[in-house]
Structure 1
Amino acid sequence: MKTEHKIYIALVVLALLGVGVFLTQRKQKAQLDAHSVTAATADLPKVGVSKDDVEKVTKISIKNADKSDVTLEKKGDTWEVTKPVNAKAHTANVRSLLDNLKELKLKEAIDRTAATYGQYELTDEKAIHVVAYKGDEKALDVYFGKSGSRGQMARVAGTDGVYVAGGYSSYLYTREAKNWRENSILKFEDENVIQASIENKNGLFSFSKNGDKWAGTFAPRDKGGKIGAAQAKWEKYDEAKVKDLLRAYQGLGAEDFGDGKSASDTGLDAPATSGGIVKIKLKDNAGDFTINVGNTAKGQSRYATKEGGDGTIYVISSWSADWALADQKRFEKTEKKDDKKGEDAHDDEAAGHMGMPMGGMPMGGMPMGGDEVE
């Protein structure tokens, strides 16, 4: 064999040996890294609640520096808010919170001391503190702080250290107190309604369903404020507007609550004059509902109560509340404009439909909002 051939073979063997050494070292490094990660993970405090234990949770407290502290408690088969008020809890929101408790875990240690709690907003004053109980036993006691590029920072009660938490959904723990409360007021299908009425300062509107058609009458108030006889014929009556009314109330929910407000503050001591009284009757004696609407709460929203309910004072949107204040024109057909007005009149009309005053946009902005509910 020629010398040059021996050299080529030696080089090939050497290269193969080099590749073998490289692969062996890489495998060893991967095994060491995997072992290190496993060891580091095993060394982290345990958080989260097991699937079985989640169903045994009976109480959850959430302390949030930026919002009211909230306590949720299971009473029998239902959940209630017991702080800051006593009220029925929003079932779906509580369920979402419970499900998230199963997803919580610590993924990485940032600092094994308490020295950086302030930096990561994990102090008692700044952090979101979540405690879940199984009876008298704590199933979870965790603080959540800043969220950044490395993830959600957390610490565990009774253990010094800053950790990166996984599975945490911040919106579930930072809800306003009002959003932990059940906000449903009415729920019905509009095709099941057979009668509806509205009583307000303008008079009494009465509607009844005959087959698929809605008949309607209007009895105005006289100068003394008394409701008189219904008008003989309502020429411009539009039954489609009754269907709009029902759509506004069939899934009526509160956007806020009027806790601590007196009847005179809310106008609910005299809803027939301060707002309106909406009555809805379902077929087959499936339900009679009465909603009293009172004064303005904030913006154009108004206070309301449900007769036969637990006395909760709700705040409902103007989209629903405005029907209680309806005048006769609200249930009448919209008049078509004269097509012969001319081009200039047509332009002014179009501007009016777009919410713009005729003649153009005024200088300055429009005031927005109103008094907040206390």
Structure 2
Amino acid sequence: MLIEKSGKKDTVSIGSKNPTNAYLYIRRDHRPKVELTSTSMSYQTSKKLIDLRDKTVLKFENENVERLVLKTKTGRFVLEKSGDTWQITSPIRKSADKSEVEKLLNKVKNARVNKFVVEKAVDLQKYGLRKPSFVFTVYLKPNQARKTLFIGKKTPGGDYYAKDDSRDPIMSISKDVPEGLQPTLFDLRNKKILTFKRADLAGIKLIYKDTTIVCEKDTSNKWVIAYPESAKAKSWKISSLLAGLENLKAAEFLGESKQAFRKAGFRRPELIVHLYDKDKNLVESLYIGRSYDAKKNYVTNRKKKEVFGVSSDDLKTIEISLNELKTN
């Protein structure tokens, strides 16, 4: 092993382990004496070339990504970051699920090369990289620098051939990477029905077909029932109700047409929930329409622009009665 330090070179010869197998015999060229050193040197010096190479598949930092373009077997998707949120801009314009976008970014960012197949390919078609099945492109701030990963055919061993557009080598990567880059449009969409901050709320109105319940925060910031009678409210029931509203997610996106809204039964909903701030401004609303498929309900929010399908089980903590809210 050749060592260079401060311009000076030295050669170290590495021998076998000592009788106790705890140390290695070594000798330096400029010292005739045989010495002992840690057996870890044997591990360090027996590394192959691939062990020493940077095995990052595509180098970028998530926080610098402003745009993601993903072409897969399931379609082509364009996502753009605005502040702390992500938007789908193609094939439709809708809010994106931030956690799903980050999952895609992490799948490629954390990917590692299993093998460098060739240093420079003459025929990309051989590896399925002339017209790749997967193209993952990120645009980075501040100057929209582009980073692209192409993923082609399967290797004989079950990996996939891949190539960083900015580098020559063809590499093989785990099948987990392309398998994790096949989202559907549903996967990518933000499925949260309502948007509000619990700390901003000071009023809740539940409007059923036959009764209305109003809850408000009193001067000590505790929830009380204000209508149809004055009573103390179970704080844990209010917390459960708000958690149910916060966590309510679409199981289906059912459209924006007038026909979709008529079918949902919002003209006479099963329940309307209005949320207000301390100044009695309307913050958010949930409209629960008729049930369908035995286990789902049509719902929409304050904007009334789209009909969602949700699991009926997810509405159980929201559809609560006056007696369930009152303290004994």
Q: TM-score range by the shorter chain?
A: 0.5 to 0.7
Deviations 1:2-47 (A, max 9, x none): xxxxxxxxxxxxxxxx979xx89xxxx98996464468x47x8x74
Match of 2:76 in 1: 69
Higher normalized helix content (fraction of residues): 1
Match of 1:186 in 2: 195
Shift in CA distance, 36/197, structure 1 to aligned 2, threshold 3 Å: closer
CA contact (8 A) 2:266 2:288 kept: yes
Matched, 1:290 2:297: no
- TM-score after normalising by structure 1: 0.55
How far 1:75 moved relative to its partner?
4.6
> What is the CA–CA distance in structure 2 between the aligned matches of 1:75 and 1:192, rounded to whole Å?
26
Superposition pairs of residues 220-299 of structure 1, within 5 angstroms: 244-258=240-254, 260-267=255-262, 271-285=266-280, 288-296=283-291
What 5-or-longer segments of structure 1 have no aligned partner? 1-17, 219-231, 334-374
> What is the CA–CA distance in structure 2 between the aligned matches of 1:203 and 1:19, rounded to whole Å?
88
> What is the CA–CA distance in structure 1 between the aligned matches of 2:71 and 2:301, rounded to whole Å?
32
AA aligned to 1:253 is K
* SS of aligned partner of 1:178: helix
Match of 2:138 in 1: 132
Q: State the identity as a percent.
A: 17
CA contact (8 A) 1:63 1:128 kept: yes
CA contact (8 A) 1:296 1:303 kept: yes
Match of 1:317 in 2: 311
How far 1:174 moved relative to its partner?
2.9
Deviations 1:200-248 (A, max 9, x none): xx32322334755644767xxxxxxxxxxxxx99xxx999866654442
How far 1:262 moved relative to its partner?
1.7
Match of 2:206 in 1: 197
> What is the CA–CA distance in structure 1 between the aligned matches of 2:164 and 2:301, rounded to whole Å?
44
* SS of aligned partner of 1:203: coil
Higher normalized strand content (fraction of residues): 2
How far 1:144 moved relative to its partner?
6.2
Match of 1:176 in 2: 184
Matched, 1:89 2:85: no
How far 1:108 moved relative to its partner?
0.6
AA aligned to 1:314 is F
CA contact (8 A) 1:128 1:145 kept: no
How far 1:196 moved relative to its partner?
1.9
Shift in CA distance, 106/87, structure 1 to aligned 2, threshold 3 Å: same
What 5-or-longer segments of structure 2 have no aligned partner? 1-14, 18-24, 27-41
Deviations 1:321-349 (A, max 9, x none): 4677x6xx95546xxxxxxxxxxxxxxxx
- TM-score after normalising by structure 2: 0.61
How far 1:281 moved relative to its partner?
2.7
> Which protein is bigger by CA-based radius of gyration?
1
AA aligned to 1:263 is K
